[in-house]
Amino acid sequence: MLAYCGLKCNDCGAYQATIEDDEEKRQEIAAIWSEEYKTNIKPEDIFCHGCTTSGEILFNYCNICEIRKCAVDRNVVNCGACPEYVCENLERFFSMVPEAKINLDKLR
């Protein structure tokens, strides 16, 4: 499963912990992400079915993600299907996560 931005949901700790219903993994991911992103993420924040799903179970950042919002507004399956691919938002994102661009390029 691929997120709008090109990240592989199957590789995401929040997605894995949710699908596996693994409380230990939630605690582990919360601790890692809290340290990595210099914030306080709680295990109860680690729930996600993937940003492209229509359900309400999303990691809290997905609710404010500009890339996700744009893709939903444009009604595209992912950013690789957008006529404006690659936009400024994606260029910034790809500079931090180049593998996301590789994933989307493969679909184009």
Q: What is the pLDDT of residues 49-97, one digit of tens each?
A: 998 987 678 887 888 899 999 999 999 999 999 999 999 999 999 999 9
Helix (H, G, I), strand (E, B) or coil at 2: strand
Q: What is the spatial distance between Cα 86 and Cα 72, in angstroms, rounded to a whole number?
A: 16
Q: Is 62 part of a structural domain of the chain?
A: yes
Range of the domain at 20: 9-107
Closest to 81 in 3D by CA, of 55, 54, 50, 106: 106
Spatial distance between the Cα atoms of 31 and 65, rounded to a whole number of angstroms:
21
Q: Does 1 map to a domain? A: no
User: What pTM does this model have?
Assistant: 0.83
Residue 19 domain-assigned (yes or no): yes
User: 78 and 4 in contact (C-beta within 8 Å)?
Assistant: yes
**Token pair belonging to 5:** 């931005």
Residue 87 lies in a domain: yes
Structural domain count, the chain: 1
